[in-house]
Structure 1
Amino acid sequence: MTQLSPQASPHPSLYPAAGAASLRLLGASACALLLAACSSPPLTPTRPAATGQAPVMACDALAARLNLAATRVVSAQRVEAGQLKLPGITQPLPEHCVVKGLMNERTGPVDGKPYAIGFEMRLPTAWNGRFFYQANGGLDGFQTPAYGDILGGGPASNGLLKGFAVLSSDAGHAFDRSSPIGGATFGQDPQARLDYGYNAVAQLTPMAKALIHTYYGKRPDTSYLVGSSNGGRHGFVTASRLPRDYDGILVSTPGYRLPLAAVAQVWGAQQFASIAQPNPATGRPDLRTAFTPADMALVSRSILARCDALDGLADGMVADLQACQAAFRVDRDIPVCAAGVATGTCLSQAQKDVLGRVLAGPKDKAGAAVYAGLPADPGIAGNDWAAWKFVNSVGPRDAIALGFVFVTPPASPAVLTGQGNTLIDYALKFNLDTDLPKLTATSGLYRASAMSFMTPPDPTMREFVAQGGKMIVFHGTADPVFSALDTIAWHDAFRRTHGAAAERHARLFLVPGMNHSRGGPATDQMDLVDALVAWVERGQAPEAVVARARGPGSAVPNPEVPASWSPARTRLLCPYPQVPRYTGRGDTESATSFACAAR
């Protein structure tokens, strides 16, 4: 089995924000086509345009013809055109060959369980000559169908429909339903940790391109990696570790410092627990009682009162995020209850203190930031924000990943199976002084720390840039897990490193109100895959993107779109540090009435 040695790297720093650059104004009327990206005039492309190719063999012959080391094709089956139709997508899937297989099958030396990198590929008969690596999210462990998710909320298309050959994988482990730590069981296996961190992508990429060559008689002309959340982290890591393998990378909500974000989550849970009521059934704090939906709605209204009009229009959205961070203050702008009990029109002083600490983010004993704070954004009242802060932080997401994947050595399952121990106990007892160093530790068989196998060795991606790579990043400003401020800090450092060349290789788009990957009071539906292809293959850099709300009547409605909005409201997303501003005329529900401008 081929194994890659982890590349040790220093802790990626929390980059201080840089001053806003003065960028040219973009007339929004050029963006009239909904869900399309506005692009600059064509430049000399760094890659030739991809050309399609028909298969050179039958789908069911592929298993016998593929001869790759440590790779076993389990099945190859043709799917007829129109046989599959996905919710929210009008067009049925085209004819394609679906291939399932396993790489690097082995038995784990610690737990004696079977491991392999499981994968699925979907190869369209009408192939466009392009490869699409679908980087999945969370703790992985599932072979999500390789349809080619184009990200955002309620996507109206996917990579397979566009003609890409699409790959999906479980990142080197299968979810263990029999274990008390479920999806984190693999954290006990040293190699599975590396596979999850970066090695599955490194192993699967050449395999997938060889499989494409076998089926179509040629290798892909261009290659793209697309992912959100942990999949976004894969995008950052891949650009750093495999800079020559992908021409374009599209990421949303990039948790590129995921272990530290998990620390921030459990630290935040500790803050909420300090004011929460006990759960009568368990005796543990019920974090949902710390802030009710009415409390969070008040916070949202208070942010809007200070920040809504900073972008030139009071429309229930905060498009100028940076200006809002300077304008809004928890201590001043949220009413405090005289009687000390929250009523939905005020917060207790204890609630205000906790909220202020959570938005500021965790600090170590020296006062240095452990992870970025969270932006003040009206999407803080979103359902997803509450789910991540009050449930996932002490449940099967952050606490379990931290305990069994991100600390070295991993915690014993006895933490959860011993009398009186639960995930919330682990989260509430996590100590920044004594436990944070475990993220950079190595021990025995665990020769790589989480901060080395989970994060990009070079966050500024120098070699990816030198190879002409293009990256598009978008991030919801109300993301409760991976802070948009952390992504802004990364982008500021990228710009400082590459100077004038930075915007030729990476662009960041902030999505006001959007929660984790989608949802919230936001225009969260967009197609940036087409924008990335245009940039890579035609040299057309995205100068703005049009995003749509998914109100009532949409194919996949977003219940958090406010009733005061048009159900199909559109807005410009502008490359940071530009912000969309109302031009002063035209329909306030249409992106055509906005322009991207320097702050």
Structure 2
Amino acid sequence: MNHNNIIPRAGTHPGRLSVIFISISLGLLTGCSPMGHTPASRSDLPSSSTLRKACPALAGTRIDASEIGLPSGAAAITEATLRSATAGSSALPEYCQVLGRIAPRDPAAPPITFQLNLPLEWNGRTLQYGGGGFNGKLETALGPVRNAPQDTPVPLARGYVTLGTDSGHRTTSARAPTEVAEFALNDEAFENFAYGAYKKVGDVAGVLVKRFYHRAPDYRYYYGGSEGGREGLTMAQRFPNDYDGIVSVVPVIGWTGLFHGFQRHAVALRRGGWMNDAEVETLGQGVIAACDSLDGLRDGVVRNFMACQARFKPSDLQCKSNNEATRRDDCLSTAQVNLVETLGQRYTFDFPLANGLSSYPGWLYGAEDVPGSFGQWVTGPMPPTHPVSADPGNTSRQYLYGDNFIRYVITRDPAFDLMNYRADDYAARVREVSQLMDSTDPDLSRFFAHGGKLIMREETGDYAQSPMAGIQYFQSVMKALGSKVVDHSARLYLSTATTHDGSGQSMTDRRTLPTSHDMLSTLDHWVAGNETPADVLTLSSKDNPYGQGTQLMCRYPDYPHYVGGDRLVATSYECRASR
């Protein structure tokens, strides 16, 4: 693996590069386990007793800035502790837990902290975990990866070296726990959040892995969802030689456009669009009435997501009287209809962003009245306020994030009211942020050329970010590189009627939907075993893998259409194109 210094790519990309695919040796498949994770040859590794002694000796280790592929301060290991194996549902193996810090260049910027977990029984692979939201807390990389079935051992227990970071800041504002983007006032801290921290921590981890095991990893993977999904795509685009495989789930790809969408929705909320729980239920039932049967089955689940866009009309739910004094829960006011319609519309800029984009797509319909969806992300439990409530639980996620984005990232005025914001007034800063944050470069030719594999997953009931952003990005990659190249190295799967956090529920009988799949094994089989993923994957239930049936997760552009039989069994469906 080449870890030479790489200059981060600018927002625009050069012409299409020639793609040379490097064949993967199948020698590592000997003795491959059912999970597809082959332990590194014991003859290549120090003995367990040697590693036990080597673990505490890592404390105090210093890694010079010259070994990090971006301008940086040096890294220092603050703790190295040998952890005993644990049993139970969250079993972990014996491993060396390493905590460290990477010094900033700017004395006013916070350090990057990270955790590296080195199992004594190593499978020869490293797995870097992505973050979430605005990050701001240390990702320990000890838990399950996103959407993993409940009965799947965590990656560390499967032999992976795992690592995570706080992305170079901690959310510890003395003023309020809602000030999650305050760090962005410092340029280096924001650059680390954009891309720098993940590259720097990955490089430091590579050095430590070599020192501990006396050999480099066979494969390096990145796995993240939401903000972590954006990070994964950023690594493929900016540092294409660093990773062999990436899983990117519900990535916030067009970050700048997304957060402008949040600001637009916040304005609609403040202008009377807020809904209580009963009104959100009315919205959900309106979507079900219009779209439930489009997938061949009336069960409170919208699977045919694109057809629903044309079928459901928010105006059909508008109250005949718009008098607030006679407001009813079984219909929506004009302001509430406007909020829903606004969500479905594209946000357009008057100037280009990174990679020539000038808009962000609207949201899809299909999971409004379920936990973790419209009520959490769009409306929140209470009407929004300015300043934002000091209790983050009182405010919708979109409003909280959009408010922080405008105040700390764009205007850099903590007292600014987002109701007064116009993108054109801050065009230069908006473009600057887009160049740093937006993971929209479709030229993945260098990542694919060395054998890199990418698996993306979108949830069509996602009200945090628009699933159309991921779909349109994948389309742009196919346009830039051709379907043959993309088919060899990338997949996009669609989990229908699933929320941002990877859960799903019928909007009529409230049955939990199967939404879990072991994407890490799917990736590892592809990279290490040269086993091309199937066009159709099977989903199990996250909380009860054997009690709630199974479902299909189709490859883009398809959805599961009911063809007859037990509705709880995946074989009763077939994948069809959603139009």
Band of TM-score, shorter chain:
0.7 to 0.9
CA distance in 2, matches of 1:432, 1:101: 39
* Cα deviation 1:219-241 (Å, max 9, x = unaligned): 11011000111111101110001
1:177 and 2:181 correspond: no
CA distance in 2, matches of 1:307, 1:273: 29
Equivalence for 2:196 = 199
Deviates more, 1:304-313 or 1:125-134: 304-313
Structure 1 letter corresponding to 2:113: G
Equivalence for 1:462 = 445
Structural mapping, 1:120-519, within 5 Å: 120-147=115-142, 149-152=144-147, 155-156=150-151, 157-179=153-175, 182-276=179-273, 290-332=274-316, 334=317, 336-338=319-321, 341-364=326-349, 370-379=359-368, 381-390=370-379, 391-393=395-397, 396-405=400-409, 407=410, 411-413=412-414, 415=415, 426-435=417-426, 437-440=428-431, 449-456=432-439, 458-497=441-480, 498-519=482-503
Residues 194 and 349 from structure 1, CA distance in 2 versus in 1: closer, same or farther, beyond 3 angstroms?
closer
Structure 2 letter corresponding to 1:208: A
543, 552, 557: which one aligns with 1:577: 557
* Cα deviation 1:517-539 (Å, max 9, x = unaligned): 32342433222111111111122
CA distance in 1, matches of 2:59, 2:537: 41
CA shift at 1:594, angstroms?
A: 2.2
* Cα deviation 1:15-44 (Å, max 9, x = unaligned): xxxxxxxxxxxxxxxxxxxxxxxxxxxx97
59, 62, 73: which one aligns with 2:58: 62
CA shift at 1:376, angstroms?
A: 1.3
Residues 378 and 222 from structure 1, CA distance in 2 versus in 1: closer, same or farther, beyond 3 angstroms?
same
Local SS of the residue matching 1:574: strand
Residues 148 and 506 from structure 1, CA distance in 2 versus in 1: closer, same or farther, beyond 3 angstroms?
farther
CA contact (8 A) 1:131 1:223 kept: yes
Residues 147 and 135 from structure 1, CA distance in 2 versus in 1: closer, same or farther, beyond 3 angstroms?
same
* Cα deviation 1:164-212 (Å, max 9, x = unaligned): 1001011122333325574323212211121111111221222111211
Unpaired segments ≥5 residues, structure 1: 13-42, 277-289, 416-424, 441-448, 556-565
* Cα deviation 1:369-427 (Å, max 9, x = unaligned): 7321000113455444322223245754332134323x2xx5134x2xxxxxxxxx623
Residues 382 and 365 from structure 1, CA distance in 2 versus in 1: closer, same or farther, beyond 3 angstroms?
farther
CA shift at 1:3, angstroms?
A: 9.7
CA contact (8 A) 1:153 1:519 kept: no
Structure 2 letter corresponding to 1:186: F
* Cα deviation 1:483-541 (Å, max 9, x = unaligned): 00111111111222222221222211122222223234243322211111111112222
Q: How many residues align?
A: 511
Structural mapping, 1:555-574, within 5 Å: 568-574=548-554
Equivalence for 2:530 = 539
Equivalence for 2:508 = none
Q: Which has the higher contact order (CA 8 A, sep 6+)?
A: 1
CA shift at 1:102, angstroms?
A: 0.9
CA distance in 2, matches of 1:248, 1:148: 19
* Cα deviation 1:34-80 (Å, max 9, x = unaligned): xxxxxxxxx97578645425555321122366654412100100110
Equivalence for 1:283 = none
Structure 2 letter corresponding to 1:95: E
CA distance in 2, matches of 1:6, 1:306: 46
CA shift at 1:570, angstroms?
A: 1.7
CA distance in 2, matches of 1:392, 1:48: 51
Structure 2 length-normalised TM: 0.81
CA shift at 1:437, angstroms?
A: 4.8
Equivalence for 2:91 = 92
Structure 1 letter corresponding to 2:80: A
Local SS of the residue matching 1:225: strand
CA shift at 1:436, angstroms?
A: 5.1
Residues 353 and 163 from structure 1, CA distance in 2 versus in 1: closer, same or farther, beyond 3 angstroms?
same
Structure 2 letter corresponding to 1:581: H
CA distance in 2, matches of 1:67, 1:379: 49
CA shift at 1:454, angstroms?
A: 0.9
CA contact (8 A) 2:223 2:229 kept: yes
CA contact (8 A) 1:580 1:596 kept: yes
Structure 1 letter corresponding to 2:82: R
Local SS of the residue matching 2:455: strand
CA distance in 2, matches of 1:271, 1:308: 28
CA distance in 1, matches of 2:424, 2:115: 42
CA shift at 1:595, angstroms?
A: 2.6
CA shift at 1:242, angstroms?
A: 1.0
CA distance in 2, matches of 1:435, 1:523: 44
Unpaired segments ≥5 residues, structure 2: 15-21, 29-37, 66-73, 380-394, 506-512
CA shift at 1:122, angstroms?
A: 0.8
Structure 1 length-normalised TM: 0.78
Structure 2 letter corresponding to 1:389: V
Local SS of the residue matching 1:8: coil
Deviates more, 1:228-237 or 1:152-161: 152-161
Equivalence for 1:443 = none
Deviates more, 1:116-125 or 1:395-404: 395-404
Percent identity between the two aligned chains: 26
CA distance in 2, matches of 1:491, 1:569: 30
CA contact (8 A) 1:379 1:513 kept: no
